[in-house]
Amino acid sequence: MNKPRIIEAIEQLQAGRRDLAVDLLHAELEHGPASGDRFASLARLAKEIGEIGIAMEALRRHAAGRPGDLEAQLRFWGELVEHGRTEEALALAERLPESMARHPSIAHFRGTVASQGGDFAEAERCLRIAIGAGFAPQSWHALAMIKKFAPGDRDLAAMEALLPHARQAGGRALAIFAYALGKAYDDCGDLDRAFALYDEGARVRGREEPYEPEKAQAATETLIREFSAEHLGQLAPSRGPDTRAIFVTGLPRSGTTLTEQILTAHPLVGDGGEINLFRPVLTSAVGIGYDRALAYQRRLPDDPWGRLGRAYERVLDVRFETAGRVVDKTLLQSHHLGLLLHTFPQARVIWLRRNPADVALSCYRTYFATPIPWTWSLRDIAHFMRLEDQRYAHWSRLFPDRILTLPYEELVRDPADWVARIAAFVGLPADERMLTPHLQKRAVRTASVAQVRAPIGTGAIDRAARYGDLLQEFRAAYEGG
């Protein structure tokens, strides 16, 4: 009996033969059935290794085999939206039978897409349809992110009335609702109440996947020790093509989305996004760690790093069908920056740095759809940020000419100067449209969805100061170690 191709692909990945694994996944699409549940597993594996084109086609087939399964359709549409195919997703939603089209999940989907596109009036209209159909914590949260609350707000009273229901539901429903209600009280200036709700949501999420500080610290120490200048010099030169990507990195909530928006305002930059593609391509071919990197180049002596670069460029082209430069805004690229810059010898990285207390505050009060365990307590935020400081110092010392440190506060205080520096650093001619990034009509799929629709301004500088002793735990842990 022949072994399923997906099992063969997993075995090839375990043996370090990424190219053969990808060929097997392509073969499954070419010779496999037109639809079926098997494609859900294929999609998960393909996405895990960065092959988003295969993943989207697999999800398409999975959804086609379950025409009455709204969850399967929404999963496929969500993947389309995440990878820039919003119009295709909306067109598929239009074809739903009327019985399914009235489901509150469809209203939530439409509201989320409208919010990402900056149409907040349409987003609110759709989200209120979902909210009106029953307890809808995700829709309340999406509404809270685009709405400014004030004391006496009817929505605030409605959310308070629903809080016991959220607590009874527990789990992620309670967590996301607590963050939403916390944001409402934050808008109203009731910071004690807001922080109590953030803490409640964070404690729920902490039970999903607790942060492991010792493990994180050991990983950072190993990274810095293994990826020294001497060790990087022992890697084979990369002869692959230069990348069209402009790399932007930093901590969450440090200004990376604003920087992405500034860059994509340039007419020579096709698009950008929080794509996180280099890491899955790297780990599925090489793995993590210096010994694995040496083993990889021994296994593929003919331009191993150029081969890796070409794999990344191929998946980048699938993600961005537009011509020209593109922005790869990947948070925490610091975990594998040495191999990225070795793979692409001409690549440049813009690294956002921001007042630590402001970053900590913003991370603490943000519900991240993808779990980020270190954001669920102020002490853990401090610990992780200190590790990121070490990684930043290490890579900046090794690649001083290829990393542009971009201080958020200086960027928003003097955008003309810093936008010119950004353009020059990545080899773009100056263009005044970069100074008005909020005028762009493009989707933004991060927690900054509302902020980047406003002109560049200084309103977020030193926001943490007004929270006083509420951030004392962070300050003590970050400054005292």
Q: Do residues 220 and 203 both lie within one domain?
A: no
User: By CB neighbour count within 10 A (0-12 exposed, 13-18 middle, 19+ buried), where does 166 fall?
Assistant: buried
Q: Do residues 305 and 405 both lie within one domain?
A: yes
Q: Do residues 32 and 179 both lie within one domain?
A: no
Q: What is the CATH number of the domain that holds 248?
A: 3.40.50.300
Q: Per the domain annotation, does 268 fall within a domain?
A: yes
What is the model's pLDDT at position 439? 86
Cβ atoms of residues 31 and 23 within 8 Å: no
What tens digit of pLDDT does each residue of 459-480 get? 889 999 999 899 999 999 999 8
Q: Do residues 94 and 163 both lie within one domain?
A: no
Q: What is the CATH number of the domain that holds 85?
A: 1.25.40
Q: Do residues 169 and 230 both lie within one domain?
A: no
Q: Per the domain annotation, does 142 fall within a domain?
A: no
Output the pTM of the full model: 0.93
Q: Per the domain annotation, does 132 fall within a domain?
A: no
What is the model's pLDDT at position 378? 97
Domain total for the chain? 3
Q: Do residues 306 and 395 both lie within one domain?
A: yes
Q: Do residues 181 and 227 both lie within one domain?
A: no
Q: Per the domain annotation, does 113 fall within a domain?
A: no
What tens digit of pLDDT does each residue of 74-110 get? 999 999 998 888 999 999 999 988 888 889 999 999 9
Q: Per the domain annotation, does 128 fall within a domain?
A: no
Q: Which residues contact 74 (CB under 8 A, 6 or more apart)?
A: 105, 109
Q: Do residues 351 and 456 both lie within one domain?
A: yes
Q: Per the domain annotation, does 134 fall within a domain?
A: no
Cβ atoms of residues 176 and 138 within 8 Å: yes
Those residues of the chain that have pLDDT short of 70 are 1, 442-450, 452, 481
Nearest to 263 by CA among 251, 249, 248, 278: 248
What is the model's pLDDT at position 35? 82
Q: Per the domain annotation, does 476 fall within a domain?
A: yes
What is the model's pLDDT at position 88? 93
What is the model's pLDDT at position 446? 62
Domain end marker among 208, 224, 239: 208
Q: Per the domain annotation, does 188 fall within a domain?
A: yes
Q: Do residues 389 and 444 both lie within one domain?
A: yes
Q: Do residues 229 and 328 both lie within one domain?
A: yes
Q: Do residues 273 and 200 both lie within one domain?
A: no
Domain end marker among 102, 133, 160: 102
Domain span holding position 371: 214-480
Domain end marker among 166, 191, 208: 208
Q: Do residues 364 and 470 both lie within one domain?
A: yes
